[in-house]
Structure 1
Amino acid sequence: MLTRERMRADIAALLHEQPDDIGGEDELMDLGLDSMRAMALLTRWAREANLTLEFSEFAERLTLDAWWAIMARAQAGA
C-alpha cells in the first residue's frame, strides 16, 4: 500500500529535494515537477499498488495533498 510519506519522498527524489521541503499545498509544477515525470510517477504508483489511475484526475490539482486524497480513495476502493 502506498503511503502519503512515500509519495512525498518519491516526488522529492525526482526534484532533488528533501521530503520535508515538499509541503502538502505546494504546487508541484512550481517546484519543478513536469508532466512527463508526473506521469512516470503515477504509472509507477499505479503498477505497484495494482490500481487504475487517471492522469487527468491528478492533473486537476497538482499538490501532494490533492494527490494523496485521490490515491487514498483509489486504494480504499481497491
Structure 2
Amino acid sequence: MLTRESLRADIAAIIHADPGEIGGEDDLIDLGLDSLRAMNLLVRWSGSGLRLDFGEFAERLTLDAWWAIVDRQQQQQAG
C-alpha cells in the first residue's frame, strides 16, 4: 500500500532531492521532475495493482494532487 510519504520519498529519489524539500503544493516540474521520470513513477506505483492514468496526473503536478489520485484508487481497489 502506498502512503503520501512513500510518494514523497519516491519523487525525491527520482529528482535527487531531500523528501523534506517537497511541499504538498510545490510544482514538481519546478523541482526537476520531467515527463519521463513521472511516467517511471507511475509504472512503479502501478505495480501495486493500481490503475493510474498519466493524463490525470499531468493535470496537476503536485504531491497533494497526486496523493489524492492514489488514495482514491486505493480506496476503490479495497472497496
- TM-score by structure 1 length? 0.96
Counterpart position of 1:40: 40
List 4+ stretches of structure 1 deviating above 4 A: none
Q: How does 1:1-78 map to 2 (within 5 A)?
A: 1-47=1-47, 49-78=48-77
CA distance in 1, matches of 2:51, 2:6: 18
RMSD: 0.5
- Identity, in percent, stands at 66
Deviation, 1:62, is: 0.2
Q: How many residues align?
A: 77
Deviation, 1:51, is: 1.2
| SS of corresponding position for 1:31 | coil
- Name stretches of at least 5 consecutive residues in structure 2 with no aligned partner: none
- Name stretches of at least 5 consecutive residues in structure 1 with no aligned partner: none
CA distance in 2, matches of 1:29, 1:11: 11
CA distance in 2, matches of 1:55, 1:15: 18
| SS of corresponding position for 1:66 | helix
